[in-house]
């Protein structure tokens, strides 16, 4: 029984981690390469979710809405990059924080204005409803498996693109030496417009995918954004590989921590104390993990630029 719970929660943690990866992937590249801090990335996640939730009834269900949400979040990413981010490259981090913070306020409130403050729920698409028996007694929702599949698939695709195409090569080269790449006649800015927009779409994709399992509400992107930051810092700013590993690590630690911290504590302290302290400790787990990693490696697991 307890093994089943562990297995289910591990899968849930994996699913959560993969969603975090989708949000963090594009962001870490932009941070690493442009030395740009974008607080407004979380709104892309929220917009992906809202577009899916709102369009679903009109677009023939979840999949139709998803198909529309992807290009729309890509377009929104392009627009934001063009209007707000681009003038901020090369400016101080303070300007970037303020402007992108402003964007969050606008979009969060704008969503409230347009769709109301009440959470919207989206039914699980019929095709992916129900549960499957993974092993004896281990029942897992098909939809969550689908998310894991989609996350892994996207990760693989990303890896193929970054590692195997000319575009990916330029992004990697740009990450280590932007002036060099522009000396080769490549428009680095256009390259990173593409990365930003593509990253926005990935975040939108993550937001769309979670609509059937989470409630869609204003500000839902903020928490995810901060978790994505933890992922990026732990993985090493600018490292896709680091973001992938860190996302899985954080997804697992957070999910397992929340389900088992209290039980584990009960082995050490009295049950009432464990019940009191457990949830607080569980909510600290990933930050403590971050602190631990950074204490040993200030540049994260895969520092892309050496400090020295």
Partner 1 sequence: MSKTRRDFLVLGLMLAILAVLPLVGLPGWVITYTARIMAFAICAVALDLVLGYGGMVSLGHAAFLGIGSYAAGILIAEGIEDFFIGLAAGAAAAGLYALATGAIAVRTKGVAFIMITLAFGQMAFFVANALSEYGGSDGLTLWSRATLNGTRALKSDTTLYFVILAALVASLGVVRLVTASPFGAVLRAARNNPERVTALGYDVERVRLWAYVLSAVLCGVAGVLIANLTSFVSPALMAWQRSGEFIVMVILGGAGTVWGALAGAFVVLALEEGLSLATQHWKIAFGALLVAVVLFTRGGIAGLFDRSAR
Q: Is 5 in the site for partner 1 (CB under 8 A)?
A: no
* Helix (H/G/I), strand (E/B), else coil: 70: helix
Nearer to partner 1 by Cβ, of 96 and 211: the residue is 96
218, 112 Cβ separation under 8 angstroms: yes
If one counts every other C-beta atom within 10 angstroms of the C-beta of residue 169, the result is 14
Closer by beta carbon to partner 1, 142 or else 277: 277
Q: Is 237 one of the binding residues for partner 1 (CB under 8 A)?
A: yes
84 alpha-carbon distance from chain centroid: 21
| Of the candidate residues 36, 62, 140, 205, the single one contacting partner 1 (CB under 8 A) | 36
Contact 26, 200 (CB under 8 A): yes
Residues from 203 through 232 that contact partner 1 (CB under 8 A): 222-223, 226, 229-230, 232
Q: Is residue 267 within the footprint of partner 1 (CB under 8 A)?
A: no
Instruction: For partner 1, give the closer residue by CB, 28 or 211.
Output: 28
Q: Which of 5, 6, 105, 127 binds partner 1 (CB under 8 A)?
A: 105
Residue 102 binding partner 1, by CB under 8 A = yes
Instruction: Supply 20's token pair.
Output: 């975090």
Q: Are 117 and 217 in contact (CB under 8 A)?
A: yes
Asked if residue 94 lies in contact with residue 205, where contact means CB atoms within 8 angstroms, the answer is: no
For residues 82 and 113, give the distance between their C-alpha atoms in angstroms, rounded to a whole number.
24
Residue ranges binding partner 1 (CB under 8 A): 31, 35-37, 39, 84, 87-88, 91-95, 97-99, 101-110, 112-113, 222-223, 226, 229-230, 232-233, 237, 276, 279-280, 282-284, 287, 290-291, 294-295, 298-300
């Amino acid at each position: 029984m307890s093994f089943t719970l562990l297995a289910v929660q591990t899968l849930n943690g994996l699913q959560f981690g993969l969603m975090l990866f989708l949000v963090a992937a594009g962001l870490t590249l932009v941070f690493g390469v442009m030395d740009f801090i974008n607080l407004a990335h979380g709104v892309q996640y929220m917009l992906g979710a809202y577009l899916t939730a709102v369009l679903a009834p009109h677009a023939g269900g979840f999949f139709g809405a998803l198909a529309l949400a992807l290009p729309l979040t890509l377009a929104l990413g392009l627009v934001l990059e063009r209007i707000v981010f681009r003038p901020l490259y090369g400016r101080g981090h303070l300007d970037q924080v303020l402007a992108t913070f402003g964007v969050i306020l606008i979009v969060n409130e704008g969503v409230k204005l347009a769709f109301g403050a009440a959470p919207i729920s989206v039914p699980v698409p019929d095709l992916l409803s129900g549960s499957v028996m993974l092993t004896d007694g281990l029942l897992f929702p098909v939809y969550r498996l689908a998310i894991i599949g989609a996350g892994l698939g996207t990760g693989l695709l990303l890896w193929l693109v970054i590692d195997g195409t000319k575009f990916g090569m330029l992004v990697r080269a740009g990450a280590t030496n932007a002036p060099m790449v522009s000396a080769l006649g490549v428009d680095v800015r256009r390259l990173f417009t593409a990365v930003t927009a593509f990253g926005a779409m990935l975040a939108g994709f993550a937001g769309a995918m979670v609509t059937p399992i989470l409630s869609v509400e204003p500000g839902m992107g903020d928490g995810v954004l901060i978790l994505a930051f933890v992922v990026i810092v732990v993985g090493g700013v600018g490292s896709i590989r680091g973001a992938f590993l860190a996302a899985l690590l954080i997804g697992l630690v957070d999910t397992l921590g929340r389900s088992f911290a209290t039980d584990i504590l009960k082995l050490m302290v009295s049950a009432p104390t464990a019940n009191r302290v457990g949830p607080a400790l569980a909510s600290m787990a990933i930050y403590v993990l971050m602190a631990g990693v950074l204490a040993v490696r200030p540049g994260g697991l895969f520092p892309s630029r050496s400090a020295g």
